[in-house]
């Protein structure tokens, strides 16, 4: 029986790996264990609780204000004991985090095969998204098996001389997680009930998130200024779960605390957040996962980034890249609010990131190729 170790450390990784973990637990061909670095702590634990996953190893590495270099060094130095204890045949990592790239490197150093879930996304701009683009490229160079969510991701990998026989196009596991999550939402939760109490039924709900490092500073002020202007419309309500990063908190509360029709709330856990997304009319975000989830909920997305590694969504028309440019954000937000045909042209498109069967495709590949 082959031994698989799944390692992740952040909330987005946990969401996207959870459906794969749950399916692998049921497979008799594999013995599967989970290790978390806890690169995020509280947000990670919320996802684990929702999906009912208990890690076999918890490195508990989150420390306030630690640098990327400090975190990287900790991951490299602490994952060794897990690899030595479990002796996996394959380590599965996800996406673009420091956890993914450093665990892939540590596994490579020990001649352990690496599988990369959500492989092949690229902007080819090492500063955007930062540091995720380079994390992806590093992990891609170290991986033995590449689970690409789309054909374009596969093309990117082939251009980088990855053997096409080691690439499988799967769709994105975030859709697997979304479909499972929507079915298991507890509508009697206190935070969901509280949000229901301040939702205005006669207004169009805009859900906002923003936290990207490359937008900090003047760009983030422009983004918030656009939201403030947008909030002056009488037909909208903006709900913004504000990221805990001080660079985000300071600007958001300074600009939007007293803005008309804006409600600022603490970050939501995954269960409450996907419920809120489902209530929205439209979404303004710099999140990669939301770009993938929203089309399955039939919600148009304005992406406040200059470039995105989710090119398929842009080409399909389910998202619109607007950056942090105030004029551009307002132009397309007002179009979505005022022009029903434009709204439908985005909301009605098929999701390019799959149909919720990515985890099953990954497991089938492993059964026949590993």
Strand, helix or coil at 33? strand
Query: Does 109 participate in catalysis according to the annotation?
Result: no
Catalytic residue among 94, 146, 233, 243: 243
The DSSP secondary-structure symbol of 213 reads G
Query: Does 118 participate in catalysis according to the annotation?
Result: yes
Catalytic residue among 13, 118, 176, 286: 118
Beta bridge partners of 116: 93, 146
Count of other CB atoms within 10 angstroms of residue 169: 18
Please say whether the beta carbons of 120 and 81 come within 8 A. no
Alpha carbon 53 to its chain's center: 18
Q: Do you find a cis peptide bond into 289, omega within 30 degrees of 0?
A: no
Catalytic residue among 122, 146, 211, 212: 211
Query: Does 96 participate in catalysis according to the annotation?
Result: yes
Query: Does 184 participate in catalysis according to the annotation?
Result: no
Beta bridge partners of 208: 284
* Tokens encoding 32: 């599967």
Three-point CA angle 207, 210, 212, nearest 5°: 155
Strand, helix or coil at 303? strand
Catalytic residue among 96, 271, 292, 312: 96
Ordered alpha helix ranges (H), 110-170: 132-142, 151-159
* Tokens encoding 275: 């419920």
DSSP letters, 160-212, are TT--GGGEEE---HHHHHHHHHHHT--TT-HHHHHHHHH--TTSEEEEE----
Catalytic residue among 132, 292, 293, 311: 132
Please say whether the beta carbons of 356 and 16 come within 8 A. no
Query: Does 132 participate in catalysis according to the annotation?
Result: yes
Query: Does 243 participate in catalysis according to the annotation?
Result: yes
Q: Which residues are catalytic?
A: 96, 118, 132, 211, 213, 243
């Amino acid at each position: 029986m082959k031994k698989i170790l799944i390692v992740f450390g952040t909330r987005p990784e946990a969401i996207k790996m959870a459906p794969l973990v749950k399916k692998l637990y049921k497979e008799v061909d594999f013995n599967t264990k989970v290790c978390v670095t806890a690169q995020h702590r509280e947000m990670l634990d919320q996802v684990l609780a929702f999906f009912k996953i208990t890690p076999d190893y918890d490195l508990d590495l989150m420390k306030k204000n630690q640098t990327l270099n400090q975190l990287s060094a900790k991951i490299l130095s602490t994952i060794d004991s897990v690899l030595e204890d479990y002796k996996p045949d394959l380590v599965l990592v996800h996406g673009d985090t420091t956890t993914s790239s450093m665990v892939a490197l540590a596994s490579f150093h020990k001649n352990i095969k690496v599988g990369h879930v959500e492989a092949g996304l690229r902007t080819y701009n090492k500063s955007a998204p930062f540091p995720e683009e380079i994390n992806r490229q590093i992990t891609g160079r170290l991986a033995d098996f590449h689970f690409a969510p789309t054909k374009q991701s596969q093309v990117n990998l082939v251009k980088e001389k990855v053997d096409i026989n080691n690439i499988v196009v799967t769709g994105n596991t975030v859709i697997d997680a979304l479909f499972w999550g929507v079915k298991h939402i507890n509508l009697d939760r206190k935070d969901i009930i509280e949000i229901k109490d301040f939702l205005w039924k006669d207004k169009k709900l805009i859900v906002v998130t923003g936290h990207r490092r490359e937008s900090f500073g003047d760009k983030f002020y422009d983004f918030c200024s656009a939201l403030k202007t947008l909030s002056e419309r009488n037909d909208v309500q903006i709900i913004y779960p504000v990221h805990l990063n001080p660079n985000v908190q300071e600007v958001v509360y300074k600009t939007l605390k007293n803005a008309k029709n804006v409600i600022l709330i603490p970050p939501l856990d995954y269960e409450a957040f996907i419920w809120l997304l489902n209530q929205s009319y439209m979404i303004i975000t710099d999140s990669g996962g939301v770009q993938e989830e929203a089309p399955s909920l039939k919600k148009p997305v304005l992406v406040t980034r200059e470039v995105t590694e989710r090119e398929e969504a842009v080409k399909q028309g389910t998202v619109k890249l607007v950056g942090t440019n105030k004029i551009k954000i307002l132009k397309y937000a007002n179009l979505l609010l005022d022009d029903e045909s434009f709204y439908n042209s985005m909301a009605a498109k098929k999701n390019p990131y799959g149909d919720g069967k990515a985890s099953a495709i990954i497991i089938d590949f492993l059964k026949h190729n590993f």
